[in-house]
Amino acid sequence: MLGTFEQIVLLAVLSLDEEAYGRAVLRAVQAASGDDRSISAGAVYATLDRVEAKGLLSSRIEKGTPARGGRARRFYRLTQTGASALSDARKTLEKMWHGKRWPPEVTA
Amino acid sequence: MKRTEPPYLPDCLLLFLLSARARETVSGDLYEEFLDVKLPELGQLRAHLWYMGQVLSFVPGRIEAVLLQGHALRLLCFCTALAGGWHGMMDILLRHPGYRSQVVIAATIVSQAALTLTALRFHRYISLRAIAMVGSAAILWLAGIALKATIGGPHLEGYVLLIALALIVQAVLTVLTIPRARVARGKSA
């Protein structure tokens, strides 16, 4: 089962399509959360590494440019396994939410 | 002329914190963001502070990676096993009054170190991991007794203090590392 943050990162990669490199994913996740400071770069890169190790993402390296000090750039892409995992996570959540009244009636 | 490079020391720290695989790409991302966005937007001082903040955000991941790899725990187990083995052997040779209980303590320390190393090596066996976790409570208890006796005793035995502290760190690392090492190896497998 995917964690919430993993789902967010995978969805960011999906939405960025061909432009999904680390920094762009970080910006997309920060924009989605609405708070630039609450999401650290370290957390996003660690999650990208983890989900890639699980086979949910694949990556390719592109040559560095002078704007990057000649350092290479890694682009990510959702794999079939990643798409299935996202789909399963969505189905599970939809099942759990189905028929729920929201906001719930809570007792004090 | 103003420097337009990212700050040198944080940049070196970043390279140390990142894995070999991520070193070039992640530092390139930060470099690009620093030059293209942060430096014009924030000015040199605040851009440098931003860069430092970004670098520090990789520290927890690095600590976790070191824990998951178990290098620190392995090294500590090796040291405590060596110290316990040496201590036990000297007890057997010198045969001071009450040496038998000292030998039992030394054997416990060596056994726990060996058990932890085995559990790290054969992480798939739940029973091994469970025994290593229980053993970590035992060495923690031993370390507590040793610390109490040393600090409250008439002579401060430096080596006992050192071994006790090492055992405490070993116990903590065992509890932190062994369950997570299983997850990490399981993922990479």
> Distance between CA A34 and CA A98 in Å, rounded?
27
Per-residue pLDDT reduced to its tens digit, B43-58: 999 999 999 999 999 9
Quick check: B139 and B52 in contact, CB under 8 A? no
| pLDDT range class, residue B189, cuts 50, 70, 90 | very low
Q: What is the mean pLDDT of residues B71-93?
A: 91
Least confident range of A10-14, A95-99, B66-70: B66-70
Residues of B near A (Cβ–Cβ under 8 Å) read 19, 21-22, 24-33, 35-36, 54, 57-61, 64, 187-188
Give Cα separations from B17 to B6, B20, B45 (angstroms).
Answer: 16, 9, 23
CA of B186 to nearest chain A CA: how many angstroms apart? Answer: 10
Percent of chain B at pLDDT > 90 equals 51
Helix (H) or strand (E) holding A73: strand A73-78
If you compute the radius of gyration of chain A from its CA atoms, what whole number of angstroms results?
17
- The values of phi and psi at residue A64, to 5°, are -75, 155
Question: What does the pLDDT read at residue A96?
Answer: 92
Please state the ipTM of this predicted complex.
0.82
Residue B45 tokens, joined: 């001082």
Put simply, whether the predicted model's pTM sits higher than 0.90 gets the answer no
Question: What does the pLDDT read at residue A20?
Answer: 95
> Quick count: other Cβ atoms within 10 Å of Cβ B63?
13
Chain A residues lying within 8 Å of B36, measured CB to CB: 67
Quick check: B57 and A43 in contact, CB under 8 A? yes
- CA nearest A76 in B: which residue? B25
Question: What does the pLDDT read at residue B127?
Answer: 85
The b/e string for B95-133 (b: 16+ C-beta within 10 A; e otherwise) is eeeebeebbebbebbbebbebbbbbbeebeeeebbebbb
B5 three-state secondary structure: coil
Question: What does the pLDDT read at residue A83?
Answer: 96
